[in-house]
Amino acid sequence: MLALTALTLLSLWLWTPDVPRASLEARYLAASSDLHQVGLWQLHVRDSGPSKDLTHAPAVVMLHGFGASLQTWDAWAEGLASSHRVIRIDLPGSGLSPPDPAHDYRDERSLQMLTALLDQLGLPRVSLVGHSMGGRIAWTFAAQHPERIDKLVLVAPDGFASLGFEYGKPTDVPATLGLMRHVLPKPLLRMNLQAAYARPESLTDAVTTRYHDLILAPGARQAMLDRLQQTVLQEPGPLLRQIKAPTLLVWGEADAMIPFANARDYLHAIAGSRLVSWPQVGHLPHEEAAQVSLQVVKEFLR
């Protein structure tokens, strides 16, 4: 009986319920007008840039990585806003964007969503920036729709199968990962996030809290699991060789999530692409080396 009581108390202590959407919007929604109905999707979209010439400034669209949100681009967005129209979105089931209405998180669906967004905003051509998973979506879109892309920035992009993974097969998601739907205390999340940063001090309490809050949005944890289970990588070479846009690769040499060695595969496959990288920087150079990486990206997009 004592053991059962202790187990019950432990479960109650670790149980991590969703955070009400109204509370999250009060903390992370800059303006109610940032919530858009785009085709089938409700999306959180932050659109900023030169205040007097927003519609005429060159447009840059930014796609975040797995488990992240549009706030990951804060430093770059602020630095680019004087010269560019900067459009950041929370992908469905991430940040303040509710889950996909069909619970469909395949890359094909993401490309449909991105096309619908660009059409609704009246943007025939943009520069596209993508990190990790968002990088895979970005380079796939650039390969399939070259007429819509001015320039392409890929930040530690996903796409090549790492050791233990195979092309053409769904990701094997451990059953224990499903527990995150019910149990996700902030210290546990912080332990997992830390692997993305080469320097421990880069993962601040404020950043950890933001990640934790938004992962606890209603439906977000199930959306993350669904996205993992629906991810089927294809050999990327044929698509990458179709990319015509000038392409910049941005990478941390201490990336523990997607190997820095993958950069040479992208350089080989994308004609004319070039790479910038930094030692002692991990998977998120736009956060961990925000200002130095921003300067390189600004020069590239100029």
pLDDT digits (tens, 9 = 90+) for 230-283: 999 999 999 999 999 999 999 999 999 999 999 999 999 999 999 999 999 999
For the chain, give percent helix, strand, coil, nearest 5.
Answer: 45, 15, 40
| 5 has a pLDDT exceeding 60 | no
Picking from 43, 220, 34, the residue whose alpha carbon sits closest to that of residue 115 is: 43
> What does the block give as tokens for 227?
């996205």
| Average pLDDT of the chain, as a whole number | 93
Report pLDDT digits (tens) over 119-163. Answer: 999 999 999 999 999 999 999 999 999 999 999 999 999 999 876
**What does the DSSP 8-state code read for residue 100?**
P
Sign, CA dihedral 50-244-68-95, equals: positive
Residue with tokens 């840059």: 60
Q: What pLDDT score was predicted for residue 8?
A: 38
- Distance CA(193)–CA(181), nearest Å, equals 17
- For the chain, domains (ranges, CATH) are 16-301 (3.40.50.1820)
Instruction: Report residue 85's pLDDT band, with 50, 70 and 90 as the boundaries.
Output: very high
- Distance CA(94)–CA(165), nearest Å, equals 24
- Distance CA(142)–CA(159), nearest Å, equals 14
Taking the complete model, does pTM exceed 0.75, yes or no? yes
Report pLDDT digits (tens) over 270-295. Answer: 999 999 999 999 999 999 999 999 99
